[in-house]
Amino acid sequence: MSEVSTRIIGKAGRITLTRPKALNALSYQMCLDIEAALDAWRDDDTVEIVVIDAEGDKAFCAGGDIQAMYEHGLKGDYDYGRTFWRDEYRMNAKIAEYPKPIVALMQGFVMGGGVGVGGHAGIRVVCETSQVAMPETGIGLAPDVGGTYLLSRAPGKLGEYLGATSLRMNAGDAIHAGFADHYIEREYWLDLVSELEETGNAGLVATMAATPPESPLARAQTEIDNLFDGTPADIAAKCDAGDSEIARASAKAIRRASPLSVCCTLANITRARNAESVRQVLAYEFEFTYRAMEHGDFLEGVRAQIIDKDRNPTWRHASIEEVPEEDIARMRAPLGDEALSI
């Protein structure tokens, strides 16, 4: 049974993620199915707009389905994960560069791979249940699926904060940080979709938007900018020493995450600020994910958080302060013939 429903209704191409029991986690086949629909509709004049949504109340998409990657990687087969990421990133780029309006309706959990599907759409809608995050450092990855592009363009040092800590944003935060555009309460989504199907008019979304909830991150912007300015060791030390709620939560999150992943995340965000496109940032991200199983903490992170659930990973480095610059450089070095090509 397909885990993605793709169809044309009226003037709209419709893509619906249909794995609500799995929080609509993206499987490899789902990435290919989304890409195939976008390719089919690109030059189809009957499709004037694309709408991406998901079944269920709990999640638009809680991330990539990484258990298969783990199982292959445990056996020394790193190519399965590399192929998954390579093809997923190509799909992310197509969403970001699509010539027709794409509206993404993102309820509940919108994390990791879910940001890759919804976060690059031209028109991104959140609601009262939306919780958005890039939680990769907690499983030994670094933000990917083009998420680093969004993080690098968040106000001040919010990108560093969100990328290093994996902490969640509410709807107001997501709009403030540039991960979403409009707030529309969930009860109005069916009416919105019906009108988009009938008219193909993407401008309708803005007319239905309401004032979003207050953003706690906007209120804490100055403090976050101060805490997350500096080297990874500087940031960790300032968070450790802080006595505010933001500092304490940040210190706890950073110290639990993979030290190598945190350091590489912060370096990638800095580099992404000078990138011209999502496509370019995806190539940077692939340098890390290509090596994440063999040389990084990904397999141990997935084991601790998802497989054994002991929440007690043994990372390659004991702390952020103990990650050598050469280890960071190795994870982010050019891939030569293996570089991502979209």
Backbone angles phi, psi at 157, to 5 degrees: -105, 20
**Residues lower than pLDDT 70 in the chain:** 1
Residues 1-52: pLDDT tens digits?
A: 689 999 999 999 999 999 999 999 999 999 999 999 999 999 999 999 999 9
Supply the pLDDT for residue 85: 97
Per CATH, the architecture of 4-338 is what?
Alpha-Beta Complex (3.90)
Please list the active-site residues.
64, 113, 136, 144
Which residues are within 8 A (CB) of 62 and not within 5 positions of it... i.e. 6 or more apart? 23, 24, 25, 108, 109, 110, 111, 112, 114
* Cα 146 from chain centre: 7
CB hemisphere CA count around 98 (13 angstroms): 34
CA distance 252 to 284: 28
pLDDT of residue 342: 87
Which pLDDT belongs to residue 277?
Answer: 96
* pTM of the complete model: 0.97
Question: Is the distance from CB of 184 to CB of 212 less than 8 angstroms?
Answer: no
Query: Are 69 and 34 spatial neighbours (Cβ–Cβ below 8 Å)?
Result: no
Using CB atoms within 10 A of its CB, is residue 140 exposed (0-12), middle (13-18) or buried (19+)? Answer: buried
pLDDT, position 284: 97
Beta strands in 196-240 (DSSP E): none
What are 278-287's pLDDT values in tens digits?
999 999 999 9
Confidence (pLDDT) at 1 = 63
**Which residue type does 336 have?**
G
Report pLDDT for 206.
Answer: 98
